């Protein structure tokens, strides 16, 4: 060919990075190396650096493995959540960073949640109802932020003379008429029946209104301001004993007329030893006493002994008192009926005509001591406290009651029930009209048996001793492990009792929110009662079937088939109610005027444990009148027994049952219609086994009791340990039960995170029992139709759930070639990805076994072909198969790039970052340098909806990406390398004479571009020299160097620039070489 001195050849830099083929096989403009440089519409340019978000303090658990930006608008909150592990990866915690996006600021020092042992790498997800869900294979958690919506708010009088439902008003921030809670008070006064009242507010003064008594403190007994129930102090009985109170004998303490009450608040730090609380005697064999009886759990014992060492009257509560908790104790006599109430719940009863001696006891009243047995001193083994000790000459209560919520005296009390869908640790009150009077507040939670005072209460609404003086939070010890659901106003919720003493009558609240700590997801009743499937009455030795008497919720007076007669039901008899699932309560509807009237009738409910009937414990009896169970229609509820302890039961000894006659008709148990005909009744009666509940009564019922309807309140379902959560169609989907069936998916009821029961919930099972790895919802459009589908991946399969409701959801396996092997590589990319010319769709991208794939709603396709050598085990650069399931990824919504993080060779941390440009469908490499390799990335949003990406490094830091001039101190090395180009053709050797580099000029850096030439596929290159790009007078630099390199047939050019002070370091525009032909290549 003709010999020319200079043959100019422009080298394109607009192609793609391809590592899967040799440099000689690349197309024009492609790259052998493209590191820290991304594509533009005209070529390539350097990436930007990264800067610490938490610059001052690294996380003490430095290995961040999951992250999520949780944002809510009402109230406005922004929390960056991370799961962090210790250096040995043996323990993990969830931390939060509340710094405004994208500003710098440290994580909260206290962990939001400490994960259980055995937790895996977690997954966060947006959830309905303003929440974030989280699963780690060991726990399924939920969090509503600092302020979660108030589920219910009722202002009430304990005697039910008024009930104001302020739920709607408390759930919005409006302050207009009808949208606020004007709190109504209840007046409280000291009545003339109070014979002794010791509030212990700094002294032992008796404040009874008639004849105050002299109270003497003995030993070193003193009041204590540190531990108190009400007022300013309580009475402390310190460890060691010898500290007690005495009061001279007086007619006020004669209890012989049969109507009296003794009540007080008590706080024990030891319940294992017997301790005297109240004692008065004439001699050793004539006394009345109240004791704490020691045991694993303590109990209260009341004794009357008259001239005989054998007690006449003995009354004991069950052993259920524990340490470090305030209890209200009340002992009552009403005629011949003795009661003990604990926290307002009757725990003991005795009918006995015996009572204290007529003239009273001659000895002093002792509080905290039995003078005959000094080893029984209150607090002798460990401190104890009493508060608000009262003796009355009337019967205060004979039925369950709300314990006092303030000190006895002339004041007012304002009561409120606060309902939550899960346990809380605080309540925030937004005050419209502030209280201006000295006042106080108390709060209690429902324990499953009674109201228990919350611990460590701090009143953030108080100012200068006035509660509700300002907007603020009432915070207390978390009740996550102690609170239980209760049914009030036909609503199952975690209820809290708040009481304000002496606030102004015009105090007004306009908004209420709750502090619900991050905690396990709980199930709460959806409000729809469950159909009873069997109902039997047992009398003598015979069961009779009455299911059709109680199946419908209506009755006809003249038709005895529409109710069941429980007339004079004996204590030896009972009824059985059977359901298809465990219950936490049973609704019993009685025909008006046909109710039980026998006083002190108590209900007992038992469940079948597989071998015997076991009491459910304390029953919250909604059918109780003054003291008679089954006195009105209502719900009897209880604290659900330990999950799994209830077993289905069917008593085969009863033999075949004779079906009752039933009018043919249509019935609807569980929402499913079926026809009942005489031929089908027996089938319905024999639906078994079921979860049965045995109901007994402590007294024979009165002679005319008619029960016409029975239904159930389902027990909360236990939420298992799922692998990951999703929000799809505004349901919380819990996926892959790690303690059960790995292919199980459990969606919540619509718009909730706490209802997993009822007709709006179901379980789905995805194919065989293989584990579900990951999933996400994908928006698609076909023609004029819009769809949102749920994509789910197993390791070797991809599935799609289509539909819009439980009734229409359908499961389709769309690929058995590609699944997902690394859950954290799954990303939904909300971008118009061009599948074909003019067809754009949102897509999902993830790492399959041996591939990176994309799904457009139609098919799963590989997108890794340019880098497929990564999955070739014979390649010099291949993925570490032992780490393949730990690969991660993130999607940069601004740059529209999918970043894949993976471990190469034998590395056990993610040391590689490959980015896929979705607009241009090209890959490039990012190398942030030693110590700064990203282990994950997370998208975050500022208050203006602008998107950013944060990344985590294994030093306890988050980094703001694409921000800064270095990789957090590491220089940015931007480089590219061209193909091996046969400039003169494959048969010609040429030498290089000149090389021109055109690039955008830089005004800060003094560093140059270093160019290297590789001739004929040499492993090592030859330096061509440095090209300066610094020029403050021109936008572009155009530098040419004269060289004499060669001869070679193939030529490859590498350009590298290292910067530490430029946001965009290297922006090449063009490369041109000038060559001279030397000879044809013969060999």
What confidence tens digit (pLDDT) does each residue in 30-76 have? 999 999 999 999 999 999 999 999 999 999 999 999 999 999 998 99
Q: What confidence tens digit (pLDDT) does each residue in 869-922 have?
A: 999 999 989 999 999 999 999 999 999 999 999 999 999 999 999 999 999 999
Q: Indicate whether 490 pLDDT > 80.
A: yes
Same domain, 805 and 847: yes
Q: Look at residue 523 in the predicted model and tell me its pLDDT.
A: 98
- On whether the CB atoms of residues 640 and 677 are closer than 8 A, the answer is no
Domain closes at, from 359, 392, 425? 392
- Within a domain: residue 23? yes
Residue 662 scores a pLDDT above 50 = no
Shared domain check, 692 and 632: yes
Asked if residue 938 is part of any domain, the answer here is no
Do residues 581 and 627 share a domain? yes
> Which region among 3-7, 755-759, 951-955, 986-990 has the lowest average model confidence (pLDDT)?
3-7
pLDDT, position 786: 78
pLDDT tens-place string over residues 951-969:
999 999 999 999 999 999 9
Q: What is the pLDDT of residue 820?
A: 98
**pLDDT per residue over 112-168, tens digit each?**
999 999 999 999 999 999 999 999 999 999 999 999 999 999 999 999 999 999 999
Q: Residue 869, SS3? A: helix
Q: What is the CATH number of the domain that holds 613?
A: 2.60.120
In which residue are the tokens 């600021």 written?
Answer: 105
Indicate whether 575 pLDDT > 50.
yes
Tens of pLDDT, residue by residue over 640-652, are 999 899 999 865 3
Task: State phi, psi for 25 to the nearest 5 degrees.
Answer: -100, 0
User: Do 373 and 490 have their domain in common?
Assistant: no
- Beta strands 458-459 and 451-453 are unpaired
CA–chain centroid gap for 479, Å, is: 13
Mean pLDDT of 465-471: 98
My answer on whether 441 and 553 are in the same domain is: no
Same domain, 796 and 875: yes
Query: Residue 355: what pLDDT?
Result: 87
The predicted model gives 830-858 an average pLDDT of 82
**Residue 673: band (very low, low, confident or very high) from pLDDT cuts 50, 70, 90:** very low
User: How many angstroms separate the CA atoms of 434 and 467, rounded?
Assistant: 9
Task: Provide the CA 250 distance to its chain's centre, in angstroms.
Answer: 56
- Among the candidates 486, 515, 544, a domain finishes at 515
What average pLDDT does range 560-576 have in this prediction?
A: 97
Q: Please indicate, yes or no, if residue 622 is contained in any of the structural domains.
A: yes
Q: Is the pLDDT of residue 214 over 90?
A: yes
Average pLDDT over residues 447-472: 96
Q: If you write DSSP's letter for every residue of 188-253 in order, what string do you get? A: E---TTEEEEE--SSS-----SSS----EEETT-EEESSS-SSSS-EEEE-TTS--EEEE---GGG
In a domain, 234, yes or no: yes
User: What number is the average pLDDT over the span 669-691?
Assistant: 45
Q: Which two tokens stand for residue 989?
A: 């050797």
209-213, 686-690, 876-880, 958-962: which range is least confident on average? 686-690
In this prediction, residue 227 carries a pLDDT of: 94
User: What integer pLDDT is reported at residue 287 of this predicted model?
Assistant: 94
Coil, strand, or helix at residue 154? strand
Lowest-pLDDT choice from 121-130, 183-192, 586-595, 973-982: 183-192
| Paired tokens of 291 | 């004791």
* Claim to verify: residue 854 and residue 916 sit in the same structural domain: yes
DSSP 359-405: T--SSPEEES-BTTBGGG-TTSSS-EEEEEEEEESS---SS--PPP-
- For residue 488, give the H/E element and its range: strand 486-488
Q: Distance between CA atoms of 926 and 145, rounded to whole angstroms? A: 35
Asked if the structure places residue 725 within a domain, the reply is: no
Q: Same structural domain for residues 366 and 431?
A: no
Among 4-13, 510-519, 589-598, 1016-1025, the least confident range: 4-13
Assess whether 569 and 709 both reside in one domain.
yes
Count of domains observed in the chain: 5
Residue 621 belongs to some domain of the structure: yes
Residue 418 shares a structural domain with residue 366: no
What integer is the mean pLDDT of 678-699?
Answer: 69
CATH code for position 1063: 2.60.120.260
For residue 858, the model assigns a pLDDT of 87
Asked if residue 345 and residue 319 are part of one domain, the reply reads: yes
What is the extent of the structural domain holding 670? 530-714
Same domain assignment for residues 358 and 230: yes
DSSP state of 823: G
Q: Does residue 109 lie in a domain region?
A: no
For 781-810, what is each residue's pLDDT tens digit? Answer: 766 677 799 999 999 999 999 999 999 999
Residue 129 belongs to a domain = no
Q: What is the mean pLDDT of the chain?
A: 93
Quick one: pLDDT at residue 834? 58
Tally helices (H) and strands (E) across the chain: 3, 83
d(CA 961, CA 441): 48
């Amino acid at each position: 060919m003709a010999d020319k001195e200079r043959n100019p050849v422009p080298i394109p830099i607009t192609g793609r990075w391809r590592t899967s083929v040799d440099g000689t096989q690349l197309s024009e403009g492609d790259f052998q190396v493209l590191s820290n440089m991304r594509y533009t519409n005209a070529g390539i340019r350097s990436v930007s650096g990264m800067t610490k978000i938490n610059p001052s303090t690294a996380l003490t658990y430095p290995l961040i493995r999951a992250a999520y930006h949780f944002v809510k608008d009402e109230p406005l909150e922004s929390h960056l959540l991370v799961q962090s592990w210790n250096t040995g990866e043996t323990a993990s915690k969830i931390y939060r960073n509340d710094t405004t996006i994208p500003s710098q600021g440290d994580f909260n020092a206290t962990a939001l949640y400490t994960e259980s042992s055995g937790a895996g790498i977690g997954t966060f997800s947006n959830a309905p109802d303003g929440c974030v869900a989280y699963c780690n294979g060991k726990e399924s958690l939920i969090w509503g932020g600092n302020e979660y919506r108030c589920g219910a708010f009722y202002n009430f009088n304990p005697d039910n003379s008024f009930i104001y439902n302020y739920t709607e008003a408390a759930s919005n921030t409006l302050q207009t008429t009808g949208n606020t809670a004007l709190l109504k008070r209840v007046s409280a006064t000291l009545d003339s029946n109070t014979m002794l009242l010791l509030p212990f507010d700094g002294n032992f003064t008796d404040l009874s209104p008639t004849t105050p008594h002299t109270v003497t403190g003995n030993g070193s007994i003193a009041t204590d301001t540190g531990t108190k129930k009400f007022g300013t102090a309580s009475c402390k009985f310190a460890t060691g004993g010898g500290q007690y109170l005495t009061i001279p004998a007086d007619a006020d303490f004669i209890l012989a007329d049969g109507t009296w009450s003794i009540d007080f608040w008590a706080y024990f730090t030891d319940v294992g030893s017997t301790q005297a609380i109240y004692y008065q005697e004439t001699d050793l064999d004539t006394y009345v006493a109240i004791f704490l009886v020691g045991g694993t759990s303590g109990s209260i014992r009341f004794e009357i002994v008259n001239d005989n060492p054998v007690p006449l009257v003995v009354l004991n509560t069950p052993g259920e008192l524990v340490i470090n908790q305030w209890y209200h104790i009340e002992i009552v006599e009403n005629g011949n009926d003795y009661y003990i109430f604990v926290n307002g719940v009757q725990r003991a009863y005795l009918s006995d005509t015996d009572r204290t001696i007529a003239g009273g006891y001659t000895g002093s009243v002792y509080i905290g001591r039995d003078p005959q047995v000094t080893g029984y001193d209150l607090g002798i083994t460990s401190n104890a406290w009493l508060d608000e000790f009262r003796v009355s000459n009337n019967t205060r209560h004979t039925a369950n009651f709300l314990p006092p919520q303030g000190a006895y005296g002339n004041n007012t009390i304002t009561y409120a029930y606060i309902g939550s869908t899960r346990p809380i640790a605080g309540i925030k009150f937004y005050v419209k009209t502030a209280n201006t009077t000295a006042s106080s507040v108390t709060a209690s939670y429902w324990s499953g048996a009674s109201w228990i005072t919350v611990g460590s209460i701090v009143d953030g609404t108080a100012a200068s001793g006035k509660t509700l003086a300002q907007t603020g939070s009432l915070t207390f010890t978390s009740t996550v492990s102690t609170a239980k659901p209760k049914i009030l106003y036909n609503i199952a919720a975690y209820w809290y009792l708040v009481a304000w003493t002496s606030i102004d009558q015009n105090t007004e609240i306009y908004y209420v929110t709750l502090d619900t700590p991050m905690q396990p997801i709980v199930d709460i009743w959806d409000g729809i009662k469950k159909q009873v499937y069997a109902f039997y009455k047992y009398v003598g030795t015979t069961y009779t079937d009455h299911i059709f008497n109680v199946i419908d919720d209506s009755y006809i007076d003249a038709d005895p088939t529409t109710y069941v007669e429980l007339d004079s039901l004996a204590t030896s008899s009972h009824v059985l109610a059977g359901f298809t699932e465990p219950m936490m309560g049973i609704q019993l509807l009685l025909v008006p005027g046909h109710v039980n009237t026998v006083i002190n009738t108590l209900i007992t409910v038992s469940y079948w444990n597989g071998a015997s009937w076991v009491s459910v414990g304390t029953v919250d009896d909604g059918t109780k009148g003054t003291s008679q169970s089954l006195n009105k229609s209502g719900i009897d509820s209880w604290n659900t027994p330990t999950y799994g302890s209830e077993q289905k039961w069917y008593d085969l000894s009863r033999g075949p049952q004779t079906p009752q006659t039933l009018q043919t008709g249509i019935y609807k148990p569980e929402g499913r219609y079926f026809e009942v005909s005489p031929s089908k009744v027996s089938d319905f009666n024999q639906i078994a086994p079921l979860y049965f509940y045995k109901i007994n009564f402590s007294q024979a019922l009165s002679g005319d009791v008619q029960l016409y309807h029975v239904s159930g309140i389902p027990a909360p379902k236990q939420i298992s340990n799922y692998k990951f959560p999703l929000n799809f169609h505004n349901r919380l989907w819990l996926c892959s039960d790690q303690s059960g069936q790995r292919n199980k998916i459990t969606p919540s009821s619509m718009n909730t995170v706490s209802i997993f029961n009822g007709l709006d919930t179901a379980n789905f099972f995805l194919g065989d029992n293989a584990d579900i790895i990951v999933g996400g919802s994908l928006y698609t459009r076909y023609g004029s139709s819009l769809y949102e589908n749920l994509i789910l991946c197993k390791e070797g399969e991809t599935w799609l759930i289509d539909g819009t409701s439980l009734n229409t959801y359908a499961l389709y396996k769309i690929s058995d070639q590609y699944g997902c092997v690394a859950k954290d590589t799954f990303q939904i990319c909300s971008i118009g990805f061009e599948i074909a010319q003019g067809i754009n769709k949102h897509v999902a991208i993830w790492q399959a076994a041996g591939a990176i794939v994309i799904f457009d709603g139609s098919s799963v396709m590989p997108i890794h072909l340019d880098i497929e050598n990564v999955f070739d085990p014979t390649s010099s650069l291949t993925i570490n198969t032992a780490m393949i399931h730990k690969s991660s990824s993130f999607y940069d919504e601004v740059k529209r790039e999918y970043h894949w993080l993976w471990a190469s060779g034998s590395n056990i941390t993610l040391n590689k970052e490959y980015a896929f440009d979705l607009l241009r469908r090209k890959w490039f490499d990012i190398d942030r340098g030693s110590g700064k390799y990203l282990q994950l990335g997370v998208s975050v949003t500022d208050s203006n909806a602008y998107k950013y990406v944060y990344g985590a490094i294994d030093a306890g830091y988050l980094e703001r990406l694409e921000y800064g001039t270095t990789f957090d101190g590491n220089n940015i090395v931007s480089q590219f390398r061209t193909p091996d180009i046969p400039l003169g053709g494959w048969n010609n050797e040429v030498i290089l004479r000149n090389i021109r580099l055109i690039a955008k000029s830089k005004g800060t850096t003094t560093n140059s571009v270093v160019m290297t030439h590789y001739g004929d596929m040499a492993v090592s290159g030859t330096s061509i020299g440095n090209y300066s790009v610094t020029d403050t007078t021109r936008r572009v630099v155009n530098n040419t160097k004269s060289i004499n390199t060669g001869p070679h047939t193939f030529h490859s050019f590498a350009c590298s620039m290292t910067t530490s002070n430029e946001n965009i370091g290297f922006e090449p525009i063009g490369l041109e070489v000038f060559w001279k032909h030397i000879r044809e290549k013969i060999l």
